[in-house]
Structure formats: C-alpha cells, structure tokens
Amino acid sequence: MTAAPPRHRLVQFGPVEFAARVDEALAVYVAAMGYPRSTARQRRSLWLDHGRRPGWRAVGWLDATGALVGVAYGYSGGAGQWWYDEVRRGLHDDPAASSWLSDYLELTELHVRPDAQGARLGEGLLRALLTDTGHSRVLLSTPEYGERQPGRAWRLYRRTGFVDVLRHHRFTGDARPFAVLGRSLPLDPPDTGASPGRPG
C-alpha cells in the first residue's frame, strides 16, 4: 500500500502573519537557493522592511502539518527603490526598455523547499501572487544559468510568458550575472491541467 501524496494549502499572508513566519520563510529561501544559513540572518530585516512597502502582497504553501514549504512576495516598484535604480542603470535610460519600469509589481521572492519541488507549487505561488495586482506588468530578477541547463525557476518563467528585459546584469555588491524578466498582466490561463490551488 502506498502513502497518499501530501496535501498542500495555498494561503495569503498579511504583513503581521508574514512577520510571524519570516524565519520559516527564510529557511525555505535558504534551502531553495542553496545558501548558507547565515544568509537568513542577513536578509531578515530586509524582508520585514519590504512588508511595509506599498502594494506588498505575499502567498505561501502550507503542508498537512501547517509547515511552510513555499513562499512568494512582491510589492509596487518605483523610483527611489534600490532595485528600480539598479535596473534603470542597466537599461541605460533606453526609452523602449525603460517603459517596463512604469506601473509594475516587483516579484521579489519566490521559493519552494527542495523536497517539495516538481509538483507545480511554484506556478501556484506565481499565479496567486499575480492575480489582481492592480499593475499592468510584473518584473523580477533571477540568476543567469550560464553553461548549465535552465533550472526550474527559468522554466516556470518561460512557460508563463516572461520575456527578457535585461540580461547579464550585475547588481551593485553582487558579482553574479542576473537576468531581469518581465511580462504584462494578467497571466494567461494555465496551458494544461488545473492550477495547484487558490489562496484560502
């Protein structure tokens, strides 16, 4: 007899609920990205600060025990924010490319714990986060994959229609090259099968 697959529940977080789970969310982030645990301590205050920004929203997946296995959040992007200014610098004020930097939600973080990956939980987070944002587009940055095959995050973003806005960009203080990807909102309906869920 085989065990039934674990059930997951998609939830929306307000700033208070997110702050209460921020350490758990950071543990998911560190595991998903393969970072040292010390990274969580360095990012904690930044994540809490993001929760106070205009347009902030967050969603997560909980397993059958109530543990967090996936998390995503974002907020309204705009001039004066570090990420906005860094991307504008990379675009060299090109008018066509810079049009992306108006009326957008910055998808800041999207992570699924490694042992829960491969079940389209990332797509569920993405779709829930990007529903009814009040913005006409979404932007995100993700590490370039170089000579390796594109990973799950890249495949998710391509599958859901994200296009290149800026490639091989180096953010101040980080030697790694990043891609900035974007797409108009709302997202198209899923190609096949049902979405893993909606927030409850």
Please identify every residue annotated as catalytic. Answer: 157
> How crowded is residue 179: how many other Cβ atoms within 10 Å of its Cβ?
19
> How crowded is residue 194: how many other Cβ atoms within 10 Å of its Cβ?
7
3-state secondary structure (DSSP) of residue 62: strand
Contact 197, 10 (CB under 8 A): yes
Maximum Cα interatomic distance, the chain, rounded to a whole number of Å? 61
The contacts of residue 16 (CB under 8 Å, 6+ apart) are: none
Report the alpha-carbon distance of residue 171 to residue 86 in Å, rounded: 6
Contact 72, 55 (CB under 8 A): no
Note every long-range contact of 157-164, with CB atoms under 8 Å and residues 24 or more positions apart, other chains counting. Answer: 157/181, 159/123, 159/191, 160/123, 160/126, 160/127, 160/187, 160/188, 161/187, 161/188
